Amino acid sequence: MTDFAATKALFHLPDGMIYLDGNSLGPLPKTTAARVAQTVTDEWGEMVITGWNRAGWMAQPSALGDRIGRLIGAEPGHVVLGDTLSIKVYQALAAALDLVPDRKVIVTDSGNFPSDIYMAEGLIKSLGRGHELRVVAPEEVADHIDSDLAVLMLTQVDYRTGRLHDMAALTQAAHAAGAVTVWDLAHTAGAMAVDVAGCHADFAVGCTYKYLNGGPGAPAFIYVAPRHVDSCQPALSGWLGHAAPFAFDLDYRPGAGIERMRVGTPPVLQMAALDAAMDIWDTVDMAALRRASIALTERFIAGVEAACPVLTLASPRDPARRGSQVSFRFADGYAAMQACIARGVVGDFRAPDIMRFGFTPLFIDAGDVDRAVAVIADVMQNRLWDDPAHQQRAAVT
């Protein structure tokens, strides 16, 4: 069992704040600043370029990949870190399409993060091979898995509502139809146990700045199943994905295994921050995390619905069908969320009307939930969102 009281003490949480937005940007682990400072002064400062070898910078993408791999149920040696999530989506989708060259249909759902859809649209245009992207309702995905399907590309947890796709069932259906799967774990990794190997996922991608607490701009990761990893072709044939980067060959040769999915120079300072966060995650039992998450979200839903009948639950009521977030619909949701934030309860807003709250047992407990419910009830019952100061939209919502 994980001691969540102990893990809470490992995070810096501003005084008076109840932070329910770790599903968008995780809070700061207390050891991160010193770890990054050490990398800056002792490694970059004293070792300069020799840090690539002496401090192990070049090996960090794979080493951190394996630590993330434990959280998502990946086989060792099949996750690598680097670049952004959009880049990793592009890589995974391009490689997946190459595995089924005679098919042209990509299916995703309208709950997918728009950036994933944008990357798919851009890839289709650049390939110019007649691929078609079909965007369907989340509940209709299974109905669109047929003999025309090339790739099923889904985000496992809907970023708006927290709706959870059944990875095992949908992957099995896709494989039975002769298709390949790409799973985005941006709202899953660190939120709940995942089993990409057990579900036979082909590709998976995800970010590390949300539940994994890697910090703003933290690098993304990509998983490739063992059956594909030595044959998939990287669409982005970057220097560090080469079989021998320092041979400086003029022709590209893909590296062995997951190393071929590397593209650019590893972000050393961001990896140092993530390394500090992973020291916490290395101690976490994911089954215990999921149980605690469900208890917190159930408590929150019950409290908000009892005190705020004007809010409509947007998340699935069955905890087995949602991730570690709870969303409510409200016409003035943006202003209401700003009123909550002004009173120390930090969630976020997703257009057009969703107030979104994330729950991470590593630093949120039942007392936090009860205090958050009390603040939300005050905001809603007393129409505190009517304050003009809460109506002005900021660049980031």
Active site residues: 113, 184, 209-210, 356
Residue 16 CB contacts under 8 Å (≥ 6 apart), including other chains:
344
Query: Could you tell me if 395 and 44 are in contact, meaning their C-beta atoms sit under 8 angstroms apart?
Result: no
How far apart are the C-alpha atoms of 127 and 115, rounded to whole Å? 18
Q: How many CB atoms lie within 10 A of CB 295?
A: 16
How far apart are the C-alpha atoms of 272 and 34, rounded to whole Å? 10
Query: Could you tell me if 328 and 313 are in contact, meaning their C-beta atoms sit under 8 angstroms apart?
Result: yes
Specify the residue for token string 């490689």: 95
Count Cβ atoms within 10 A of the Cβ of residue 47 and give its class: 0-12 exposed, 13-18 middle, 19 or more buried: middle
Query: Could you tell me if 202 and 94 are in contact, meaning their C-beta atoms sit under 8 angstroms apart?
Result: no
Count Cβ atoms within 10 A of the Cβ of residue 395 and give its class: 0-12 exposed, 13-18 middle, 19 or more buried: exposed
> What's the alpha-carbon Rg for the chain, to the nearest Å?
22
- Dihedral of the alpha carbons of 123, 124, 129, 135, in degrees to the nearest 10: 140
User: Strand 28-29 and strand 18-19: pairing?
Assistant: unpaired
> Cα angle at 279 between 278 and 281, to 5 degrees?
55
